Amino acid sequence: MRLFVAIVLWLGLFLLCWPLAVLALLLWPVVWLLSLPFRLAALLVEVAFRTLRAILLCPARLLGEKV
C-alpha cells in the first residue's frame, strides 16, 4: 500500500512539475544511501536497549513472573 501511495504522489508531482519529479526520482537513491548510517545507528541503539531490558528483567523471569 505504501508503494501505491508513493507512486500516486509521484505521478501527481509529475503532472504538476515534471522537472522536480524527475529530479526527485534521480536523487532518491542518493538520499537512501545517505540515510543508511542513521538506520544502522538506530538499529544498534534499539539492540542495546533490548539487551539492557533483557538483563534487567532476567531475575524476574527466573522467579516466574510474566514480563
Instruction: Tell me the C-alpha distance between 67 and 63, whole Å.
Output: 11
Q: What is the pLDDT of residue 60?
A: 84
Instruction: Write out pLDDT tens, residues 10-34.
Output: 999 999 999 999 999 999 999 999 9
Instruction: Write out pLDDT tens, residues 39-56.
Output: 999 999 999 999 999 999
Residue 67 pLDDT grade (very low, low, confident, very high; cuts 50, 70, 90): low
